[in-house]
A and B are shown apart, each in its own frame.
Chain A
Amino acid sequence: EDQVTQSPEALRLQEGESSSLNCSYTVSGLRGLFWYRQDPGKGPEFLFTLYSAGEEKEKERLKATLTKKESFLHITAPKPEDSATYLCAVQADGNQFYFGTGTSLTVIP
């Protein structure tokens, strides 16, 4: 069964304390892995797409990496404005998208 699992469910960091969020997946035929950011009361906002193992993408304090089984979203020296829920989604063969349940990140000043 195709599945996407994100961990941890929630993460509290001090401002400047770097950490990583994990997205592990079991799908038949990965076509792409997507990271989104979702602020309370809003729709998810696209961050990155990764297509193959070893690929990395960066945006400001965020860096996404991909292996054959999982993806990591690394947050370097986070700021309070990075507080949000981060969603991972996988596009599999057949063009179905599978979403994880997200990691709720809180950055404390």
Chain B
Amino acid sequence: NAGVTQTPKFQVLKTGQSMTLQCAQDMNHNSMYWYRQDPGMGLRLIYYSASEGTTDKGEVPNGYNVSRLNKREFSLRLESAAPSQTSVYFCASILNLNWNYGYTFGSGTRLTVV
């Protein structure tokens, strides 16, 4: 089925380890986003890519880097994981910012940093 695919679904890291979260969409959407969701905090934007070849910081970018590999793929990297990065991470995409149907979200990556 068409949509946004995130890998892995679950991950446990030790403090200081690095990892990359992968995201791919097959809807030919132009813009892609990484959010984190924490209890009582709502969804907060980490980074986004308005179009292929561009990336910009969101509300909470510290400790993260991103790569828009091509139109389909947008990865999120944690260089040195910290317990504060324990969260559920969602990738989302949208055709363009005037798209009436909002984001399409992936199913999330549940990350625990110990």
Known: A43-B90, A43-B108. A36 touches B40 (CB 8 A): no
Decide if B42 touches A46 in the complex (CB within 8 Å): no
Decide if B42 touches A44 in the complex (CB within 8 Å): no
B residues near A, CB below 8 A? Answer: 4, 35, 40-45, 50, 90, 92, 97, 100-108
Taking the closest CB of chain B, its distance from the CB of A43, in whole angstroms, is 3
Q: How far is the CA of A25 from the CA of B17 in the complex (A)?
A: 39
Chain A interface size range: 20 to 34
Query: Interface of chain A, helix or strand or loop or mixed?
Result: strand
Query: Which of B40, B101, B106 contacts A43, CB < 8 Å?
Result: B106
Query: Which of B92, B101, B107 contacts A49, CB < 8 Å?
Result: B101
A residues near B, CB below 8 A? Answer: 4, 34, 36, 41-46, 49, 87, 89, 91, 95-97, 99-102
Decide if B41 touches A46 in the complex (CB within 8 Å): no
Taking the closest CB of chain A, its distance from the CB of B7, in whole angstroms, is 14
Closest A residue, CB atoms, query B91 = A43
By Cβ-Cβ distance, the 6 closest A-B pairs, closest first, are A43-B105, A99-B43, A101-B42, A46-B102, A99-B42, A34-B102
Known: A42-B107, A42-B108, A43-B107. A87 touches B100 (CB 8 A): no
Decide if B102 touches A95 in the complex (CB within 8 Å): no
Decide if A97 touches B105 in the complex (CB within 8 Å): no
Taking the closest CB of chain A, its distance from the CB of B48, in whole angstroms, is 9
Decide if B102 touches A36 in the complex (CB within 8 Å): yes
Q: How far is the CA of A36 from the CA of B90 in the complex (A)?
A: 14
